[in-house]
């Protein structure tokens, strides 16, 4: 409709009807196939407000969205259509690797393509908005939600967040096949203290600005239609009530024009934070801070209209927010076309189609990180006698958290992939151990409702005996180990990041009879791999690979594809080192070559990571020349380039990820030792060499100075060009 028509519609709505556009209910209200008032009491909302609500969570599927839209429109006084929202984080029916894995691919274009495929599938199922990308920076392996993040680096995360927004929305989120993006969780959620989900975030203003905000900003600059605020307090103020974050930063400084939605019930949670007195106060504070949509509570619908009578700022906010909701509905074409893309035929055509599966397989291979490969044990020879053993051999739950609409039966297991693979001989495939240790754990409704892990000691022994016998006969044993996905994701914080004891026992038993072990690690977080590294010759981290899991894993194990990934988060030796980042500030007492008690160090493990950010091996080897500069000094007007020559010194073709880091040697505030500023993939045949050049511009050297001005300072810098964040291949330059 035209904006004039939209304004006419808006003028015809009374204040409560406007407020109801600012309310998000969930699927429960329509689960019976009719609108039901039953869930209203638990939700804390008046049934009529739920009936008139502007948006809904988790109703998806062409038939369902069409049906619910019909029911809604029949009772909507102004025939304003519902907007359908859900979490399509790393795929809808075709699931791609978890975002931490996508980060490891260092390939924003591939992430954009994955998001675009997810959008096309979700569009066919009637979805309007996805709650993605998740742009929270993650440095703490204990935090279960690091799997939803692209990792620890602001530069990489920014490229990934922007790419995903472009993928979901294209040039116009309202176009056919596209859905609107909602970057989340603004801001700083990943820095939850102690890695405890929902815990407070305490960040200095500079760390917030330089490390945590850039990825959200990149998503906003890429045009994300919505922003979701986070659960925690940042600097003692809940994000949901933070005028500083939601209005001063997001709208005033960054120019964001779209919708801000709360996280699930986060308006009401301000009461528990001790920041709001009651529901009414919480609604008031959220509105004044800048929240347009209340997800999951009745606080807005019960209070905003009456608050508006007392506070003109609330009255203005209701009008602005309601108009923003109506405008997004209009942009998404819902007024003309309330079913939008919902089309059962398109669902059949697109969901899990071979082209989408092929892309999921390709991106999975690109995300796998080869952590160890002693004696060149990988890739496997097709003719060798390999025993494939481990709880992940038959595991169908391989997509990780927030693959809400994935059906396990669509996922390819290792066993299925082996059976379908031609030319692979002499294999045995065994479970070897339970996936987790001997206790029952009822995890509630996080991924699949009420998963219970049972454990039978006698059966566990039998599995181990079978594994040992098979390992004895094999040339090589591939062990498929890892955490079950319910142990990471939302509410998946953990003080330990080790494999379960039953899996470590399997590793020990196999190692006692066969030293040729390749461990394939399924995980949603960096793990403590001390035992795994010691007992395995090769370690391949495959994250949660998604729908094409088994196929992608075997492609890489058998050398049909390279392990393409590099770590998007540093792997510590132990959880006790968390949080950990290569970007940490320098200490006055850096560790020395020889042990010295009064330096910054742990007494029991090295101070640094076991595997640093950016690290990953290939099936070949590369040599770097020392970096050289086009000129020793750059100015604001004249950039310089830094070059290295990279040579494939191995016997197989391979792709190297060449990474550029820059360190500011001295400044008005202490700066990270180095920061990622560029990367590029180089494919080289054996003995082939290529020169790689990076441009260094003045704007790449800016930071928040002592007076919180974002600028560069003249002086000396160091450029590091190498294979990971720990590289020493460096050259100094100056900024004049």
Of 87 and 548, nearer to ligand BGC (C-beta) is 87
Within residues 45-64, the interface with ligand BGC by CB under 6 A covers 57
Of 219 and 640, nearer to ligand BGC (C-beta) is 219
Of 165 and 557, nearer to ligand BGC (C-beta) is 165
Q: Find the shortest distance in angstroms from Cβ 230 to ligand BGC.
A: 8
In this structure, the chain runs to a length of 736
CA 192/CA 100 separation, integer angstroms: 17
Of 183 and 532, nearer to ligand BGC (C-beta) is 183
CA 633/CA 641 separation, integer angstroms: 10
Query: By rule CB under 6 A, what string of x and - marks binding of each residue 82-111 to ligand BGC?
Result: -----x------------------------
Of 29 and 661, nearer to ligand BGC (C-beta) is 29
Within residues 14-33, the interface with ligand BGC by CB under 6 A covers none
Which of 209, 51, 184 is closest to 129 using CA atoms? Answer: 184
Within residues 443-482, the interface with ligand BGC by CB under 6 A covers none
Of 129 and 173, nearer to ligand BGC (C-beta) is 129
Which of 49, 86, 90 is closest to 64 using CA atoms? Answer: 86
Q: Do the Cβ atoms of 645 and 625 come closer than 8 Å? A: yes
Helices (H), 87-203: 99-104, 108-124, 154-169
Within residues 476-535, the interface with ligand BGC by CB under 6 A covers 490
Omega of the bond prior to 246 within 30 degrees of 0, cis?
no
Give me the sign of the Cα torsion angle 579, 585, 589, 590. Answer: positive
> Which residues on adjacent β-strands are paired with residue 633?
734
Q: Is 131 in the site for ligand BGC (CB under 6 A)?
A: yes
Residues 6+ apart with CB under 8 A from 214: 154, 155, 157, 158
- Local structure of residue 109 (DSSP, 8 states): H
Q: Find the shortest distance in angstroms from Cβ 667 to ligand BGC.
A: 36
Tokens of 231: 């659960």
Angstrom distances, CA of residue 581 to CA of 284, 526, 569, 673:
38, 12, 8, 11
Q: Find the shortest distance in angstroms from Cβ 447 to ligand BGC.
A: 12
Of 135 and 682, nearer to ligand BGC (C-beta) is 135
Tokens of 299: 């606080």
- Local structure of residue 486 (DSSP, 8 states): G
SS3 at position 68:
helix
CA 489/CA 105 separation, integer angstroms: 20
Of 53 and 529, nearer to ligand BGC (C-beta) is 53
Q: Is 263 in the site for ligand BGC (CB under 6 A)?
A: yes
Of 99 and 612, nearer to ligand BGC (C-beta) is 99
SS3 at position 269:
helix
Q: Do the Cβ atoms of 626 and 729 come closer than 8 Å? A: yes
Q: What are phi and psi of 249, to 5 degrees?
A: -80, -60
Q: What is the DSSP string of 379-443?
A: SPPTTS-EEEESTTSS----S-TT-TT--GGGSPPHHHHHHH-TT--SEEEE--S-SS-SS----
Of 262 and 577, nearer to ligand BGC (C-beta) is 262
Tokens of 659: 């990474």
Q: Is 268 in the site for ligand BGC (CB under 6 A)?
A: no
> Which residues on adjacent β-strands are paired with residue 261?
228, 293
Q: Find the shortest distance in angstroms from Cβ 134 to ligand BGC.
A: 7
Q: Find the shortest distance in angstroms from Cβ 245 to ligand BGC.
A: 16
Q: Find the shortest distance in angstroms from Cβ 130 to ligand BGC.
A: 9
Q: Which of 123, 212, 264, 434 binds ligand BGC (CB under 6 A)?
A: 264
User: 481-493 burial string, b = 16+ CB within 10 Å, else e?
Assistant: bbbbbbbbbbebb
Residues 6+ apart with CB under 8 A from 19: 49, 300, 301, 304, 305, 318, 322
Of 21 and 240, nearer to ligand BGC (C-beta) is 240
Helix (H), strand (E) at residue 459:
helix 457-473
Active-site positions read: 263
Which of 541, 537, 511 is closest to 527 using CA atoms? Answer: 541
Q: What are phi and psi of 486, to 5 degrees?
A: -70, -10
Q: Do the Cβ atoms of 129 and 182 come closer than 8 Å? A: yes
Q: What are phi and psi of 28, to 5 degrees?
A: -50, -35
Angstrom distances, CA of residue 138 to CA of 101, 135, 372, 721:
13, 9, 24, 24
Q: Find the shortest distance in angstroms from Cβ 71 to ligand BGC.
A: 22
Q: Find the shortest distance in angstroms from Cβ 680 to ligand BGC.
A: 32
Of 179 and 435, nearer to ligand BGC (C-beta) is 179
3-state helix, strand, coil in the chain (%, to 5): 35, 20, 45
Q: Find the shortest distance in angstroms from Cβ 675 to ligand BGC.
A: 28
- The CB-nearest residue to ligand BGC is 131
Q: Is 168 in the site for ligand BGC (CB under 6 A)?
A: no
Q: Find the shortest distance in angstroms from Cβ 698 to ligand BGC.
A: 37
Radius of gyration of the chain (CA): 26
Q: Find the shortest distance in angstroms from Cβ 189 to ligand BGC.
A: 8
Q: Do the Cβ atoms of 134 and 148 come closer than 8 Å? A: yes
Within residues 170-189, the interface with ligand BGC by CB under 6 A covers 184
Interface with ligand BGC: number of residues (CB under 6 A): 7
Q: Is 225 in the site for ligand BGC (CB under 6 A)?
A: no
Angstrom distances, CA of residue 264 to CA of 122, 296, 310, 661:
21, 5, 27, 38
Of 209 and 490, nearer to ligand BGC (C-beta) is 490
- Local structure of residue 135 (DSSP, 8 states): -
Helices (H), 630-690: none
Within residues 569-608, the interface with ligand BGC by CB under 6 A covers none
Question: What number of CA atoms fall less than 13 Å from residue 530's CA on the CB side?
Answer: 12
- Contacts to ligand BGC by CB under 6 A: 57, 87, 131, 184, 263-264, 490
């Amino acid at each position: 409709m035209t904006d004039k028509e939209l304004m006419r519609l808006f003028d015809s709505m009374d204040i409560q009807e406007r407020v109801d556009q600012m309310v998000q209910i969930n699927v429960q209200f329509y689960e019976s196939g009719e609108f039901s008032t039953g869930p209203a009491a638990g939700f804390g909302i008046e049934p009529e407000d739920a009936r008139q609500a502007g948006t809904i969570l988790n109703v998806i599927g062409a038939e369902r969205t069409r049906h619910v839209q019909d029911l809604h429109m029949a009772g909507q006084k102004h025939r304003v259509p519902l907007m359908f929202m859900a979490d399509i984080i790393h795929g809808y029916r075709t699931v791609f690797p978890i975002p931490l894995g996508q980060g490891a691919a260092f390939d924003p274009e591939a992430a954009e393509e994955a998001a675009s495929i997810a959008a096309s599938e979700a569009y066919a199922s009637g979805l309007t908005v996805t709650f993605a990308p998740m742009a929270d920076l993650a440095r703490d392996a204990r935090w279960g939600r690091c799997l939803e993040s692209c990792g620890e680096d602001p530069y990489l995360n920014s490229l990934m967040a922007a790419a995903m927004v472009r993928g979901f929305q294209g040039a116009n989120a309202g176009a056919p096949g596209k859905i609107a993006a909602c970057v989340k969780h603004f801001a700083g959620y990943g820095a939850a203290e102690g890695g405890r989900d929902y815990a407070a975030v305490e960040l200095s203003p500079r760390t917030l600005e330089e490390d945590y905000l850039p990825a959200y900003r990149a998503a906003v600059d890429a045009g994300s239609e919505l922003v979701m605020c986070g659960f925690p307090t940042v600097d003692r103020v809940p994000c949901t009530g933070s005028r500083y974050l939601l209005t001063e930063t997001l709208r005033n400084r960054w120019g964001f024009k779209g919708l801000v939605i709360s996280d699930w019930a986060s308006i009401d949670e301000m009461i528990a934070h001790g920041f709001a007195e009651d529901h009414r106060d919480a609604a008031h504070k959220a509105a004044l801070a800048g929240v347009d949509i209340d997800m999951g509570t009745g606080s807005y619908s019960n209070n905003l209209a009456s608050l508006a009578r007392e506070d003109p700022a609330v009255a203005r906010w209701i009008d602005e927010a309601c108009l923003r909701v109506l405008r997004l509905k209009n942009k998404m074409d819902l007024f003309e076309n309330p079913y939008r893309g919902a089309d059962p035929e398109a669902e059949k055509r697109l969901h899990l189609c071979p082209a989408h599966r092929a892309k999921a397989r390709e991106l999975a291979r690109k995300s796998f990180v080869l952590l160890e490969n002693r004696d060149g044990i990988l890739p496997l020879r097709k003719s060798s006698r390999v025993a494939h053993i481990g709880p992940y051999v038959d595991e169908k739950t391989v997509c990780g958290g927030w693959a809400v609409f994935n059906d396990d039966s669509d996922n390819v297991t290792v066993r299925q992939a082996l059976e379908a693979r031609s030319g692979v001989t002499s294999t045995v495939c065994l479970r070897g151990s339970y996936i987790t240790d001997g206790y029952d754990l009822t995890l509630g409704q996080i991924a699949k409702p009420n998963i219970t892990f049972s454990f039978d000691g006698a059966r566990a022994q039998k599995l181990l005996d079978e594994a040992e016998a098979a390992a004895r006969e094999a040339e090589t044993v591939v062990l498929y180990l890892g955490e079950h996905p319910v142990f990471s994701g939302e509410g998946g914080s953990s003080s330990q990041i080790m494999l379960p004891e039953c899996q470590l026992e399997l590793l020990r038993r196999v190692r006692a009879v066969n030293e040729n072990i390749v461990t394939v690690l399924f995980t949603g977080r960096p793990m403590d791999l001390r035992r795994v590294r010691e007992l395995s010759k090769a370690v391949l981290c495959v994250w949660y690979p998604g729908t094409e899991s088994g196929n992608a894993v075997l492609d890489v194990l058998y050398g049909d594809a390279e392990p393409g990934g590099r770590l998007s988060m540093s792997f510590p030796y132990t959880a006790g080192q968390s949080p950990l980042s290569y970007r940490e500030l320098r200490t006055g007492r850096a560790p020395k070559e020889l042990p010295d008690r009064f330096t910054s160090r742990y007494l029991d493990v090295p101070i640094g990571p076991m595997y640093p950010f950016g690290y990953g091996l290939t099936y070949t080897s590369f040599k770097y020349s020392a970096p050289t500069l086009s000129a020793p000094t750059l100015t604001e007007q004249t950039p310089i380039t830094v070059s290295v020559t990279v040579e494939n010194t191995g016997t197989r073709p391979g792709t190297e990820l060449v990474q550029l880091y820059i360190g500011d040697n001295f400044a008005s505030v202490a700066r990270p030792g180095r920061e990622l500023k560029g990367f590029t993939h180089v494919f080289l045949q054996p003995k082939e060499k290529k020169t790689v050049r990076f441009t260094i511009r003045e704007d790449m050297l800016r930071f928040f100075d002592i007076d919180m001005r974002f600028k560069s300072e003249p002086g000396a810098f160091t450029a590091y060009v190498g294979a990971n964040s720990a590289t020493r291949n460096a050259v100094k330059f100056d900024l004049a």
